[in-house]
Amino acid sequence: MIFLYIGLPLIVAAVLPLVGKVSKKVLPDVLANGVFLFLFAYAVTGARGLLAGGALHQTFAWFGEPLGIQIAVDGFSLFMLTVVALVSACVGLYSISYMEHYGAKANYYALLLMMVAGMNGLLLVTDLFQIYIFLEVAAVASYALVAFGREQAELEAAFKYLMLSVVASAAVMIAIALLYGLTGSLSFTGVAEGLRQLDAKAAGAIASALFLMGFGLKAALVPFHAWLPDAHPSAPAPISAILSGLLIKVSGVYAMTRIFFHVFGLTPALSDVLMWTGTVSIVVAALLALKQRDMKRMLAYSSISQVGYVVLGIGIGTPLGIAGGLFHLLNHAVAKSLLFLTSGSVQQATGTRNLDEMGGLAKRMPVTSTTSLIGSLSIAGVPPLGGFWSKLLIIMALVQSHRPVLAVIAVLASVLTLWYYLIMQRQAFFGKLNERWAAVKEAPFWMAASTIVLAVLCLVLGLLFSSVVSTWIQPAADVLAQGMGM
Amino acid sequence: MATLDIVLLSGLVLASAFAVLAKDLIKAAVALAVSSLLLGIVFFRMNAPFAGVFEISVVAGLITVLFILTIALTRTEGEVRESKTVLRVFPVFFVLFIAIDALVMKGLTAKIATLPAAAESGTFGDVLWKQRTFDLIGQLAVILSGVFAVLALFRKRDKDE
């Protein structure tokens, strides 16, 4: 069943362009959203039972002949699969109304499904080379989705994204080649075992540095972030949401964490590098976000900053730190997708992303403004929303592991986050209604509905945080805290 | 390392550099084909015949044909002015890379202990279908993504667009 996370989106994507010839809108909408909703429903209901006896390894056969397909699910990958399913389901619903004016909906959904299949594949593999392949599946689909509108700015952003992403893939590929040359194996366990036998510190350090650069570029950590503030705002809003909410986390944070924790093992030096990279990202990107006048660009810088928190939390390496990092990953995925979707609603209603031209939109778009406010407050870490608890966990873990300086920086940067989000809220939604927007209407049904779902989730994640942590986050954090041996 | 390997690898680097620097796209595509042909031969010499076959048939053969077809079918509409920075910076990086490669890599690789890799075993079909089936699915997905990307980016405008 778990293979459906790769197989189902792939098969439906393959038939969608043909389906699009028969029905341009309705069937693609139904098929793609059906897949997203099914995968989400299975993630929250059936999939957890599979892990009752610990991590699950599956191999497949074809007419009795064994095939070279091996997938594995543990608490960490199941948690990530659920996050992917959740955000892609909301993004799919939002796309029903939003993508109307772009045309070629069947092609759009086909690419979106390929991206989801790529991300799910990356979450299930047990082999370094397969990480690379599924990284590319998701990446190739995402380049096309960034350029989907085909305007000058979109094509330019997609090209820049493509160029930097290729550098990232090359770094990852060289690191994999190096490890294969050293250990003669590609599987996580094989390479980990080989590295232990060889005690190859220097070569291991070079491979780690290459992985850090490659996945750092994918996760857009400072100083590898230059592509993100162009690529994410240029894409159609649902794609911005999925890029910021999911892709940088799956192809950057997840892949990096899986390899560092389960292949190399987290050393104190590596832990320091991760924590400082995270902290620099948090501060630099928050300062850059303050100056932005383009709504989506501000959100893009905020993504860099918040991914910094996730890496900081995971980098601490203690069970509490990892739990905080992963919980922040979930909170950020939900809230940032929500914010990008609401920014899309605003852009569609007003035709602008410039905060200076907006003002008073709350009067015309009450649902969009309320949901956007909830998302902003959650990311900024205002209680009782989800973001507050995850940041609190990270800061407590920093204090526990005797890193007061990093803890203070994390708190201060959180204030900066609140500051730029309040600027955004005030300029866009509050104050006097700009005359130009007197005729603006609330977003259409599906767009509004998906933002409401995400906003409610921001609230639920905060109010029920202890049960969310114990059911979803803790099993994932345990897998990482135990270290090697997947 | 045999002299032949050094000649092959030097040729590979030079052909790749020419592919980057060539102004004429046809020449660049041919240079790329030459470089992957040389790489294919290197694969054969390193006892990786399957990789060699793929490199020569797909990258040197099929992809070059696609490139040249596309270039031949594309109309040239005015010269696009390129930034000169690349042409100036590239040789610097190129020389730096060669210098570091020559000075460091040989000493480094000689010192590092490695474990033996399993040689390619079984028939081509065995490797593809039984050992690396998942890669095959992934590669199909990459190609499918590429096809959808082309379909999406070169689509005709709909009436309601």
pLDDT at A215: 95
Give the CA dihedral B38, B44, B50, B51, nearest 10 degrees.
-40
Same domain, residue pair B133 and B65: no
pLDDT at B118: 64
- Nearest CA-CA partner of A119 in A52, A180, A36, A46: A36
pLDDT band at A385 (very low <50, low <70, confident <90, very high): very high
- Provide the shortest C-alpha distance from residue A104 to chain B (in Å): 7
Q: Is B160's Cβ below 8 Å from some Cβ in A?
A: yes
Report yes or no on B91 lying in a domain. no
Report yes or no on B99 lying in a domain. no
Q: How confident is the model over B107-129, as pLDDT tens digits?
A: 766 666 777 766 656 677 777 67
Q: Is B161's Cβ below 8 Å from some Cβ in A?
A: yes
Higher-pLDDT residue of B117 and A463 is: A463
B141/A114 Cβ within 8 A: yes
Higher-pLDDT residue of B78 and A275 is: A275
Report yes or no on B109 lying in a domain. no
pLDDT at A64 over 90: no
148-207 in chain A: CB under 8 A from chain B:
148, 150, 180-185, 194, 197-198, 200, 202-203
Q: Which residue in chain B is spatially nearest to A151 when comparing CA positions?
A: B153
Which whole number is the average pLDDT over B84-101? 82
State how far the Cα of A318 lies from the Cα of A338, in Å rounded to an integer.
Answer: 30
Same domain, residue pair B4 and B71: yes
Higher-pLDDT residue of A257 and B102 is: A257
Cβ contacts of B79 within 8 Å, gap of 6 or more? none
Alpha carbon A168 to its chain's center: 17
Same domain, residue pair B10 and B69: yes
pLDDT at B74 over 80: no
Report yes or no on B110 lying in a domain. no
Which whole number is the average pLDDT over A179-186? 88
% of chain B surpassing 70 pLDDT:
81
CA angle A116, A120, A123 (to 5 degrees): 145
Report yes or no on B102 lying in a domain. no
For residue A92, CA distances in Å to A46, A89, A110, A135 come to 22, 5, 12, 21
Which whole number is the average pLDDT over B56-68? 86
Residue A52 DSSP code = G
Distance separating the N- and C-terminal Cα atoms of chain B: 60
Burial of B113 from C-beta contacts in 10 A (0-12 / 13-18 / 19+): exposed
pLDDT at A400 over 70: yes
- Nearest CA-CA partner of A212 in A271, A158, A140: A271
B133/A69 Cβ within 8 A: yes
Q: B151-154, long-range: CB within 8 Å, 24+ apart, which pairs? A: B151/A17, B151/A107, B151/A110, B152/A104, B152/A107, B152/A108, B152/A110, B152/A111, B152/A144, B152/A148, B153/A144, B153/A147, B153/A148, B153/A150
Q: By the 8 A CB rule, do A32 and A92 touch?
A: yes
- The CATH number that applies at residue B67 is 1.20.120.1200
- Provide the shortest C-alpha distance from residue B62 to chain A (in Å): 20
Q: By the 8 A CB rule, do A61 and A80 touch?
A: no
State how far the Cα of B51 lies from the Cα of B40, in Å rounded to an integer.
Answer: 7
pLDDT at B161 over 60: no
Which whole number is the average pLDDT over A267-284? 94
> Hey, CA dihedral for A45, A255, A249, A119, is it positive or negative?
negative
Q: A154-157, long-range: CB within 8 Å, 24+ apart, which pairs? A: A154/A234, A154/A235, A156/A230, A156/A234, A157/A230, A157/A231, A157/A233, A157/A234, A157/A235
Q: By the 8 A CB rule, do A61 and B125 touch?
A: no
Structure tokens that stand for A358 in this block: 């907006």
B151/A182 Cβ within 8 A: no
pLDDT at A460 over 90: yes
Same domain, residue pair B61 and B4: yes
- Lowest mean per-residue pLDDT among A277-286, A291-300, B126-135: B126-135
Cβ contacts of B125 within 8 Å, gap of 6 or more? none
Q: How confident is the model over A472-486, as pLDDT tens digits?
A: 899 899 988 887 544
pLDDT band at B77 (very low <50, low <70, confident <90, very high): low
CB burial of A190-225 (b: ≥16 within 10 Å; e: otherwise) equals bbbbbbeebebeebbebbbebbbbbbbbbbbbbebb
State how far the Cα of A425 lies from the Cα of A362, in Å rounded to an integer.
Answer: 9
pLDDT at A319: 92
Same domain, residue pair B62 and B1: yes
Last residue of one domain, picked from the residues B42, B76, B110: B76
Higher-pLDDT residue of B82 and A113 is: A113
Cβ contacts of A450 within 8 Å, gap of 6 or more? A90, A91, A93, A94, A341
pLDDT at B119: 60
Which whole number is the average pLDDT over A353-367? 91
Same domain, residue pair B72 and B139: no
Last residue of one domain, picked from the residues B16, B51, B76: B76
- Provide the shortest C-alpha distance from residue A6 to chain B (in Å): 10
Structure tokens that stand for A3 in this block: 């293979």
pLDDT at A182: 87
For residue A422, CA distances in Å to A155, A377, B27, B41, B123 come to 31, 9, 55, 61, 64
% of chain A surpassing 70 pLDDT:
99
Contacts of B117 in chain A (CB under 8 A): 180-181, 184-185
pLDDT at B80: 62
> Is the preceding omega at residue A268 within 30 degrees of 0, hence cis?
no
Q: What is the mean pLDDT of chain A?
A: 91
Report yes or no on B131 lying in a domain. yes
Q: What is the mean pLDDT of chain B?
A: 81
> Hey, CA dihedral for A262, A265, A268, A274, is it positive or negative?
negative
Q: Residue A267 region, left (φ>0) first, then alpha (ψ -120 to 50), else beta?
A: beta
B145/A141 Cβ within 8 A: yes
Cβ contacts of A221 within 8 Å, gap of 6 or more? A252, A277, A278, A281, A304, A307, A308, A311
Which whole number is the average pLDDT over A124-141? 93
Report yes or no on B153 lying in a domain. yes
pLDDT at A486: 44
Cβ contacts of A135 within 8 Å, gap of 6 or more? A118, A122, A169, A172, A218, A251, A255
Contacts of B155 in chain A (CB under 8 A): 103-104, 107
pLDDT at A307: 96
Which whole number is the average pLDDT over A367-381? 95
Which whole number is the average pLDDT over B47-72? 85
% of chain B surpassing 90 pLDDT:
18
Which whole number is the average pLDDT over A368-393? 95
pLDDT at B54: 84
Which whole number is the average pLDDT over A365-383? 95
Cβ contacts of B159 within 8 Å, gap of 6 or more? none
ipTM computed for the complex: 0.87
Return the H-helix or E-strand segment holding A135: helix A128-146
B161/A102 Cβ within 8 A: yes
pLDDT at A202: 81
CA angle A440, A446, A447 (to 5 degrees): 50
Return the H-helix or E-strand segment holding A27: helix A26-44
* DSSP state string for A148-174: TT--HHHHHHHHHHHHHHHHHHHHHHH
Contacts of B157 in chain A (CB under 8 A): 103
pLDDT band at A23 (very low <50, low <70, confident <90, very high): confident
List the domain range (segments joined by +) for residue B131: 122-161
Total tally of structural domains belonging to chain B: 2
pLDDT at A174 over 90: yes
Question: Treating both helix axes as pointing N-terminal to C-terminal, what angle do A319-350 and A474-481 enclose, rounded to 10 degrees?
Answer: 130
> Hey, CA dihedral for B44, B47, B49, B52, is it positive or negative?
negative
Higher-pLDDT residue of A10 and A359 is: A10
State how far the Cα of A338 lies from the Cα of A354, in Å rounded to an integer.
Answer: 19
Determine the residue among B142, B156, B158, B159 to mutate to test chain A binding: the one whose Cβ has the most chain A Cβ atoms within 10 Å: B142
B114/A182 Cβ within 8 A: yes
B151/A107 Cβ within 8 A: yes
Cβ contacts of A187 within 8 Å, gap of 6 or more? A126, A127, A128
Which of A107, A118, A125 has its CB closest to that of B155?
A: A107
For residue A415, CA distances in Å to A87, A293, A382, A390 come to 27, 19, 10, 15
pLDDT band at A57 (very low <50, low <70, confident <90, very high): confident
pLDDT band at A370 (very low <50, low <70, confident <90, very high): very high
- Lowest mean per-residue pLDDT among A15-19, A168-172, A254-258, B56-60: B56-60
Same domain, residue pair B71 and B1: yes
% of chain A surpassing 90 pLDDT:
73
Most confident of A223-227, A314-318, A436-440, B3-7: A314-318
Report yes or no on B1 lying in a domain. yes
Q: By the 8 A CB rule, do A91 and A242 touch?
A: yes
Q: By the 8 A CB rule, do A313 and A326 touch?
A: yes
431-450 in chain A: CB under 8 A from chain B:
none
Q: By the 8 A CB rule, do A311 and A406 touch?
A: no
State how far the Cα of A437 lies from the Cα of A304, in Å rounded to an integer.
Answer: 31
pLDDT at B117: 66
Which whole number is the average pLDDT over A377-396? 94
Last residue of one domain, picked from the residues B14, B41, B76: B76
State how far the Cα of A136 lies from the Cα of B139, in Å rounded to an integer.
Answer: 9
